[in-house]
Amino acid sequence: MELIKNQHIVFVINSLEGGGAEKVICDWLTEMEPVFTQSRSKVTLLLLDDLPEANVVPNYVNKQTLDSKGKLFSSYTCLKKTLMTNKPDIIFSFLNRSNVLCSLIGRQLDIPAIISERSNTSQHFGNSLKGKFSKLIVRIVYSRASRIIAVSEGVRLDLIANFCIQSDRCTTLQNAYNKDKLIEKSNLEIEAEIPENGFIIAIGRLHLVKNFELLINAYAQSNINIPLLILGEGPLRKKLQKQIDSLNCTNKIFLKGYQVNPYPYIKNAAYMVSTSNAEGFPNAIAEALCLGTPIVATNCESGPAEILADDVYFTTMDAEIVKYGVLCKPKSINAVKSGLRLMTKIDKTAAYRQTLQTRAQQYSFDNVRATLIAEINRLVKSK
Q: If you average pLDDT over residues 72-101, what whole number do you get?
A: 96
- Give the pLDDT band (50/70/90) at residue 267: very high
Residue 62 is predicted with a pLDDT of 97
Residue 18 is predicted with a pLDDT of 75
Euclidean distance between CA atoms 104 and 121, whole angstroms? 18
Residue 195 is predicted with a pLDDT of 83
Per-residue pLDDT tens digits for 145-174: 999 999 999 999 999 999 999 999 999 999
Q: Would you call 19 helix, strand, or coil by DSSP? A: coil
Give Cβ neighbours of residue 72 (< 8 Å, ≥ 6 apart): 97, 100, 101
Residue 124 is predicted with a pLDDT of 86
- Please, are residues 46 and 12 in contact by the beta-carbon 8 Å criterion? yes
Please say if the pLDDT value at position 63 is more than 80.
Answer: yes
Residue 372 is predicted with a pLDDT of 94
* The CA-based dihedral angle spanning residues 158, 357, 327, 315, taken in that order and rounded to the nearest 10 degrees: 40
Start-to-end C-alpha separation, the chain: 19
Residue 24: Cβ within 10 Å count = 23
Q: If you average pLDDT over residues 311-327, what whole number do you get?
A: 96
Give the percent of the chain with pLDDT over 90: 89
Residue 296 is predicted with a pLDDT of 99
Q: Which class for 365: exposed (0-12), middle (13-18), buried (19 or more C-beta within 10 A)?
A: middle
Per-residue pLDDT tens digits for 13-46: 999 987 788 989 999 999 999 999 999 999 999 9
Mean pLDDT of all residues belonging to the chain: 94
Residue 233, phi then psi, degrees to nearest 5: -125, 165
- Please, are residues 22 and 54 in contact by the beta-carbon 8 Å criterion? yes
For residue 301, give the DSSP letter. Answer: B
Please say if the pLDDT value at position 50 is more than 90.
Answer: yes
Q: What is the pTM of this model?
A: 0.90
Residue 194 is predicted with a pLDDT of 82
Q: If you average pLDDT over residues 295-322, what whole number do you get?
A: 96
**Adjacent-strand bridge partners of 327:** 297, 320
Q: Would you call 94 helix, strand, or coil by DSSP? A: strand
Per-residue pLDDT tens digits for 323-359: 999 999 999 999 999 999 999 999 999 999 999 999 9
* The CA-based dihedral angle spanning residues 180, 181, 187, 190, taken in that order and rounded to the nearest 10 degrees: -170
Domains and CATH numbers, the chain: 8-176+364-382 (3.40.50.2000), 179-360 (3.40.50.2000)
Measured at the CA of 44, the angle between CA 72 and CA 58, to 5 degrees, comes to 115
- Give the pLDDT band (50/70/90) at residue 364: confident
Euclidean distance between CA atoms 26 and 16, whole angstroms? 9
Please say if the pLDDT value at position 382 is more than 90.
Answer: no
Report the residue count for the chain. Answer: 383
Q: If you average pLDDT over residues 90-103, what whole number do you get?
A: 96
Per-residue pLDDT tens digits for 219-231: 999 999 999 999 9
- Give the pLDDT band (50/70/90) at residue 283: very high
